[in-house]
Structure 1
Amino acid sequence: MIGKKVKQLRMEQGLTLTELADKAGVAKSYLSSIEREVQSNPSIHFLEKISAVLGVPLETFIHNQPIPQPQEQLDEGWLSLVREAMDSGISKEEFAEFLEYNKWRNRHKRPEN
């Protein structure tokens, strides 16, 4: 089940096996074995990497949840920010890296006294 979801999401996003493996920092051969369901019990760490690149919650794989579908269109403010980022030359990879850093920072914030 997990392998089929990974493959479906990867293909929907137009990524090759090599591209997903490289972006997630995982072995292409291991990713392939997951997708072909030769390996059926990937680690949480592996799934975290894959879900971050594919832009889906980890729960999509763990709890066999349906793949989330966009619920609404971006408002003009978000569209403006995306256009500005694109115009400034930020790549998708750089933007994804920033988002991952921000998630990490939020998880490691010290509680305020």
Structure 2
Amino acid sequence: MIGIRIRRERHEQALTIAELAEKAGIKERTLRAVEEGEQDDPTRSELEHVAAALQVPVSSIAPAEENLEAEWLDLVQTAMHSDITKEQFRKYILDEKEKRQKKEK
């Protein structure tokens, strides 16, 4: 869905993929993959750069639900590329869940 919205806006502004990628400061192949649905999880930063280049709000190309999903994916990717292990990450999530449950009681 994000790719379709970006392509529609890009066409409305008569921009090529190469032109938009250059304006947004992202790789052309990344933008092409997003538009063609091969990459359906662009980073929040990529979305912000594309939206700025198109001079539209991020919400017009990625509704809130999709933005949230992208934020979660960014978080997980960051964890995966850090020194934290899966077990540490899992423990953190479970600890936070437990804290919230205690607060609700």
- Report the TM-score, using the length of structure 1 for normalisation: 0.55
Alignment of 1:1-113 (within 5 A): 1-63=1-63
Aligned residue identity for 1:27 = K
TM-superposed deviation, 1:15: 0.3
Listed as ranges, the gaps of 5+ residues in structure 1 are: 65-113
Tell me how large the CA RMSD over aligned residues is.
1.6
- Report the TM-score, using the length of structure 2 for normalisation: 0.59
Listed as ranges, the gaps of 5+ residues in structure 2 are: 65-105
Deviant stretches of 4+, over 4 Å: none
Aligned residue identity for 1:39 = Q
Aligned residue identity for 1:46 = E
Between the two proteins, the alignment pairs up a number of residues equal to: 65
In the aligned structure 2, how far is the partner of 1:22 from the partner of 1:62?
A: 20
Q: Percent identity?
A: 38
In the aligned structure 1, how far is the partner of 2:63 from the partner of 2:9?
A: 16
Aligned residue identity for 1:36 = E
Instruction: Please state whether the residue corresponding to 2:39 is helix, strand or coil.
Output: coil
**Which of these two proteins has the greater Rg computed from alpha carbons?**
2
